Chains A and B, each alone.
Chain A
Amino acid sequence: MTTQQLTPLLETRDLNVRFGGVHATRDVNFTLAEAELRCVIGPNGAGKSTFFKLLTGQVRPTSGQILFRGKDIAGMQPHEPARLGIGIKTQVPSLFNGLSVWENVWLAARRTNTSTQSERVTREVLERVGMIAYRDALVGLLAHGQRQWVELAVVIAADPPLILLDEPAAGMSDAEVARTAELILEINRRHALVVVEHDMSFIRKIAKTVTVLHQGAVIREGTPERIMSDPLVQQIYLGKKPH
């Protein structure tokens, strides 16, 4: 066994971040293998989006390490984790509103592809998410759910080994949610994914392992069934109804 196979794709060690009097991330030890799909759930304010911001260099940790393929990326400039291979769809869609759908995706593809390749990649990705008909539409004028699709396309186009999705199903109808789940499983064939979501039926469709965050710390990790029947998770997060 070579060290290559043993090194996880992503590993955080005793990761902590505090700001404004809030201990947003508490001693988080999180490991993800290459091409693994993990779901992260937790109550509002548990620190899920903050965790993503740590991974993408938007927030600097107070202490601890973030190892991406063995390299510590904690505290890097915000464009560096992306260059190393981490892509993110943010909770609030972060796109170029004044530019067309095509151009948004093209910019993502162009960093790692030549001009000609980028044209091909952009077209393929837009067809994959079903937004090719909207290629010339101005992103700022699209409906919320459509912007979610565009952002998904933008993340896929850059083809990063690790993809972070923060509430990818938000604002989508049931049919679109099902489509998103299929797309995620397809992407998972060659990419690792960490997905934050609240829709438990969606999570059951895609996840083998679920990590639960609460008040900044990891409190549970396991299969969806184990997690959903866990009394603490039900109390702090799921509520009374069966999901």
Chain B
Amino acid sequence: MQGIAMLEVNGLCAGYGSIPVLYDISLALGSGESLGILGHNGMGKTTLLRTLIGALPATAGSIRFKGEDITRAAPHARARRGIAYVPQGREIFPALSAYDNLRLGLVKTGRKPDEALGALLDDFPRLKPLLERPGGSLSGGEQQLLALARALAGDPVLLLLDEPTEGIQPSIIEEIAETLAALRDKQGLTIVLVEQNLDFIAAVSQRVLVIRRGQLGDEIPREHLSNIDIVSQYTGVHA
């Protein structure tokens, strides 16, 4: 834990209409910390991230970002404060070129696209030949990369990632893990990562928590992360 909490969540509850999904979620992350969240489908992983970014209203509890209460803030207000979200399903603007998608990502920083994107594209070389093509014509994996790059284009302080490696080929998964780990270590990027890929989550996250039935559970010790059977016990196969 380094210094003031970047993200502080207390007693967070959320759901869809009369179906509650998240119960009493509490967590705290300092700057440069990276938290991984593991869990089966339907356990609330996506719901948690959506509540953090504000796409879903919290029904109870609070979220503090850099000491400021953002529980009632609109998603765009949270984005402006430096939270970036890469949702499951990419959500690329299909009619815009890949380049324009990236430009949209850095609108709020006010920086000029050419200089700002130069460094970013060095981390995502696969996107370079695709820049002029419409977002919708990219393959699934390429769109996933574009979504990730777009989120990073805005120089976020907190990055929320929902299964970012889905559909991406193994060699690039490694590259992304390296890129994120570097951003975490050198620039203090704080990360909340939801993933099923154990290798990736181990490479990028310092701590891994399990989410079960909408509640955050035990931390999985790092040494157990590579053992699928042990991980299954944590995530509740034999419950």
A and B in direct contact, judged by CB atoms within 8 A: yes
Interface residues of A (CB under 8 A from B): 19-20, 22, 42-50, 91-92, 141-146, 167, 170-176, 198, 200, 236-241, 243
Q: Closest CB-CB distance, A52 to chain B, in whole Å?
A: 11
Q: Given A45, A92, A198, which contacts B170 in the complex, CB threshold below 8 Å? A: A198
Residues in chain A near residue B88, CB distance under 8 A: 144, 171
Contact between chains at B169 and A143 (CB < 8 Å): no
Binds A, one of B59-67, B147-155, B227-235: B227-235
Contact between chains at B138 and A236 (CB < 8 Å): no
Contact between chains at A175 and B237 (CB < 8 Å): yes
Check A171/B174 contact, CB under 8 A, given A44-B140, A144-B41.
no
Residues in chain A near residue B173, CB distance under 8 A: 239
Contact between chains at B174 and A176 (CB < 8 Å): no
Check A44/B126 contact, CB under 8 A, given A171-B196, A173-B40, A239-B171.
yes
Contact between chains at B174 and A20 (CB < 8 Å): no
Contact between chains at A238 and B171 (CB < 8 Å): yes
Contact between chains at A241 and B170 (CB < 8 Å): yes
Q: Given A22, A46, A167, which contacts B137 in the complex, CB threshold below 8 Å? A: A22
Contact between chains at B174 and A241 (CB < 8 Å): yes
Q: Closest CB-CB distance, B179 to chain A, in whole Å?
A: 14
Q: Please list 20 pairs of residues, one from A and one from B, whose beta carbons are closer than 8 Å in the complex, sorted by A's number.
A: A44-B140, A44-B172, A45-B126, A45-B130, A46-B139, A50-B139, A91-B167, A92-B89, A141-B16, A143-B46, A144-B89, A167-B166, A171-B196, A173-B196, A174-B198, A175-B235, A198-B167, A198-B169, A237-B170, A239-B172
Contact between chains at A45 and B141 (CB < 8 Å): yes
Residues in chain A near residue B38, CB distance under 8 A: 173
Residues in chain B near residue A20, CB distance under 8 A: 133-134, 137
Interface residues of B (CB under 8 A from A): 16, 38-42, 46, 88-89, 126, 130, 133-134, 137-142, 144-145, 163, 166-175, 196, 198-199, 228, 231-232, 235, 237
Q: Closest CB-CB distance, A221 to chain B, in whole Å?
A: 18
Contact between chains at B39 and A173 (CB < 8 Å): yes
Residues in chain B near residue A22, CB distance under 8 A: 133, 137
Residues in chain A near residue B199, CB distance under 8 A: 241
Residues in chain A near residue B46, CB distance under 8 A: 143-144
Residues in chain B near residue A241, CB distance under 8 A: 170, 174, 199
Q: Closest CB-CB distance, B122 to chain A, in whole Å?
A: 18
Contact between chains at B42 and A146 (CB < 8 Å): yes
Contact between chains at A172 and B196 (CB < 8 Å): yes
Q: Closest CB-CB distance, A169 to chain B, in whole Å?
A: 9
Contact between chains at A145 and B40 (CB < 8 Å): yes
Contact between chains at A243 and B170 (CB < 8 Å): yes
Cα of A143 to Cα of B38 in the assembled complex, Å: 14
Residues in chain A near residue B142, CB distance under 8 A: 44-45
Check A173/B235 contact, CB under 8 A, given A44-B141, A145-B40.
yes
The 8 closest A-B pairs by CB, nearest first: A44-B141, A145-B41, A239-B171, A143-B41, A45-B139, A143-B42, A239-B174, A173-B40
Q: Given A49, A144, A145, A176, which contacts B139 in the complex, CB threshold below 8 Å? A: A49
Residues in chain B near residue A237, CB distance under 8 A: 169-171
Contact between chains at B41 and A146 (CB < 8 Å): yes
List 13 extra interface pairs beyond A19-B137, A198-B170, A243-B170, CB under 8 A: A43-B169, A44-B167, A44-B168, A45-B130, A143-B41, A143-B46, A144-B163, A173-B235, A174-B196, A174-B198, A198-B141, A198-B169, A236-B171
Cα of A167 to Cα of B42 in the assembled complex, Å: 19
Check A45/B41 contact, CB under 8 A, given A198-B169, A200-B170, A236-B171.
no
